Structure 1
Amino acid sequence: MKIAFLGSRGIPARYSGFETFYEQLAIRLVERGHRITVYNRSYFIKDVRGYYRGVRIISLPSIPSKHLDTISHTLLSSLHALFQRYDITYYCIVGNSPLVWLPRLTGSQTLLNVDGEDWSREKWSGFARWYQKKCEWIATKASRVIIADAQGVQDRYREIYSTDSIFVPYGANVQTNTGTETLQKWGLHPREYILYVGRLVPENAIDLLIQAFTEVNTSKKLVIIGDASFADAYRKHLYALSDSRVVFTGYAFEQEYAQLSSNAYLYVQPSGINGTRPALLDQMGFGNCVLVRNSPVNMEVIGDYGCWFDENQGQGDLKSKIQLLIDNPEIVESYRNKVTERINTYYNWEWITDFYEDLFQRMVSNMSLISYDSYLKQKDKIID
């Protein structure tokens, strides 16, 4: 099949979960003989042209501002896609929903991965927030298939818009990298730091994590991997909250990311906005004990394989749980010993690729569609 992925910053993944998802799925589909195209933002990824690991790369410009960057690039990508005759056109980000109908004019089957409640993010206000919320309704009309990355998101679209979607989780790779070169660069030691990974934006609640951590009695450090575009004020706010134990590394990829992840003592996910956090799955794949806010989506992901703090009690409970896990390394080790089972038995990239391949084929053949869980049961996969 001829398949295109639109709406992200592009691959290789250097920004967020959507880029990681596109890269992991696109490469696997190429290996299975499909012709895959990913649309990149030319200002963001400048060193990749032509092909990346067998995936065709189309680099197009955008208007690089907070409100117009994504939609302007996706518009150009959609217009280009009109002339490519893709069998499948896959969009991400609900704010792109007004454009999803375009490829359907030439017979392409479209999917839109809506993520969580994007309109509720603190970066949106006024018209932008209204637009993002309106895009949820538009998504139910414009796309052939809506993809939800968590069952909580699926429930939301069913309850509010009376629209069925297909739940497909993100995946993760079970892996480890015990190298320490990156740790030495930042003055770190194995198992002597707590880790957070994500964009430095208000909805990710990094300020909550820093405030809780600075009250913890420990010599361990807090390492924060990530950055964000158009978020200078929040970044400065985080710096002001931090003490000498907090280390900001900026973005980290490939070997640097793997080393920092593999050697962490504990991973903390303080945010609770609906939508699965691929970084959380990544850290479970690295075998880390994870501590998350007890939002429905986070609890859905970790099952019985991680720890949680009460979002209603906020900073106080987060501080207490971090202290508890630092003071009781045997608890951390017990979760570390079993957490990868969760990835292998549900969040498995190969199984997810199998499902998408089946879903795409059903769409182009006009066959009835089935859920991810139903597919796994048909294939005798294990569901935890």
Structure 2
Amino acid sequence: MKLRIAILGIRGVPNYYGGFEHISEYVSAGLVKRGHSVTVYNSHNHPYQQDSWNGVEIRHCYDPEYLVGTAGQFIYDMNCLLDARKRNFDVVMLMGYTSSSVWGQLYPKNSTIITNMDGMEWKRTKYAKPVQQFLKYAEKLAVKHSDYYVADSRVIKAYLKDKYNINSKYIPYGADIFTDFEREQYDVNEALKEDYFLLMARMEPENNIEAILEGFNQSNSGKKFKVLGDTGNRFGKFITNKFANDERIQFKGAIFDTPKVRSLQNNSYLYFHGHSVGGTNPSLLEAMASEALIAAHNNPFNKSVLNTDAFYFSNAAEVTHLVENVQRKAPEKNMVMNNLYKIQYQFNWERVIDQYEEFIIESYKHKNYEAIIADKR
């Protein structure tokens, strides 16, 4: 069965932003290769201005975010939905709900609506209380106005079942195996192999950056600690100022050169993953695929992916202990190889795309079967 599928809720493809743009890039192109007609909605000022990409049709819609800030996302999503209503898509897939579910009444009535339910956005500490309350409301609206649901984490799947009594389809993100080309991108002048710790994240409180760096700061380690991420926001400036006197901590800024990032992950002594909110995190999967030894924040999201193949921490003192005591011997090498095995057989993109295709077709058939039965009554 070949379907007409639209993907909304992202800034666009190819990916220049991360998150849902990252998975939408792989899924849209993968579905086209499997014979489906796929349209992705792009912001009008997306860097890519062509009308098609790898067989995917691109629809550009006006996005005033550059003029009015966050409120512009709501207008952009509304513009995308109004256009989608004219196109007679079999399936409309919404990536997230933050600024789209308020327009639930505009969802195309004749399309099967599938929403990827994101990662419990209302738990993010970067949002003020009123914003957190709105996000809870938006989540509720997404459940109400969607026909079917995707959860990119088993933790989120369980939450949706418990909170709303809905069945969602667990489909994680994917990652590509670390290649020889990426391995060659490592700059030997940057640091000696396994001579540094590494952290890569948005500069946000819920990513536990302060606790990680505090723990390292209190350690007696002679290694460097490289921090990848844009430090231009308020929290980033706070962090850089707080640890400015520790010459071992190096703030490298945001690096968008994927082979370089993955090479840095591969060569690190220990990769710290501090994310505490959200589903299956793409940067965690990439670290696993890059054969990094991982220390992760102790929470259900990370544990559902890593299981026993990582070290865990909950506070600065535990980070200090890891920095001073973690070895790179046979047990640690087994942890790295076990995570690589997960990428090859559980989190690889072909498997992820297959799961999306299967669920999209199944959802479309199920909804239309119900419509046929309803017409006969």
Shift of 1:103: 3.4
Name the TM-score, length of structure 2 as normaliser.
Answer: 0.87
Answer whether contact 2:112 2:367 (CA < 8 A) is retained: no
Equivalent AA in structure 1 for residue 20 of structure 2: F
In structure 2, what is the Cα distance between the partners aligned to 1:217 and 1:69? 48
Q: Secondary structure at the match of 2:343?
A: helix
Query: 1:140 offset after TM fit, Å?
Result: 1.6
Could you tell me which residue of structure 2 aligns to residue 289 of structure 1?
Answer: 293
Q: Give, in whole Å, the separation in 1 of the partners of 2:185 and 2:192.
A: 8
Q: Does structure 2 conserve the Cα–Cα contact (< 8 Å) formed by 1:195 and 1:222? A: yes
2:38 to 29, 36, 39: 36
Distance in 2 (CA, whole Å) between partners of 1:265 and 1:368 is 53
Identity of aligned pairs, percent?
25
Q: Structure 2: how far apart are the matches of 1:213 and 1:168?
A: 35
The equivalent of 2:239 in structure 1 is: 238
1:377 matched residue in structure 2? none
Deviation, structure 1 residue 157: 1.6
Shift of residue 181 of structure 1?
5.5
- CA deviation profile, 1:146-173 (whole Å, cap 9, x unmatched): 2111111111122222222222111122
2:252 counterpart of 1:248: yes
Contact 2:6 2:89 in 1 (8 A): yes
Give yes or no for contact 1:119–1:132 (8 Å, CA) kept in 2.
yes
Quote how far apart the aligned CAs of 1:331 are: 4.4
Q: C-alpha distance in 1, partners of 2:318/2:150?
A: 34
How far is the alpha carbon of 1:368 from its aligned partner?
10
Letter in 1 for 2:13: I
> Counterpart in 2 of 1:12?
14
Deviations 1:344-368 (A, max 9, x none): 2321221121111111112222279
Q: Is the 8 A contact 2:101 2:139 kept in 1?
A: yes
Structure with bigger gyration radius: 2
Which residue of 23, 34, 50 maps to 1:21? 23
Give 1:250 deviation, angstroms: 0.8
Counterpart position of 1:188:
191
Alignment of 1:1-384 (within 5 A): 1-43=3-45, 45-60=46-61, 61-64=63-66, 67-95=70-98, 96-105=100-109, 107-176=110-179, 177-180=182-185, 184=189, 187-227=190-230, 232-242=233-243, 243-244=246-247, 245-309=249-313, 311=314, 314-325=315-326, 327-366=327-366
Q: Which runs of 5+ in 2 are unaligned?
A: 370-377
Name the SS for the 2:191 alignment partner.
coil
Q: Structure 1 length normalisation: TM-score?
A: 0.85
CA contact (8 A) 1:78 1:102 kept: yes
Mapped contact 1:198–1:225 kept (Cα < 8 A): yes
Question: Displacement of 1:27 after TM fit?
Answer: 1.8
Q: Which residue of 2 aligns with 1:374?
A: none
Q: How many residues align?
A: 359
What's the RMSD between the two structures over aligned residues? 2.4
Report the residue type matching 2:168 in the other structure. S
In 2, Cα distance between the equivalents of 1:317 and 1:212? 7
Using a 3 Å threshold, how does the CA distance of structure 1 residues 58 and 368 change in structure 2: closer, same or farther? closer
Q: For the residues of structure 2 that align with 1:198 and 1:75, how far apart are their CA atoms? A: 30
Which residue pairs with 2:373 in the alignment?
A: none
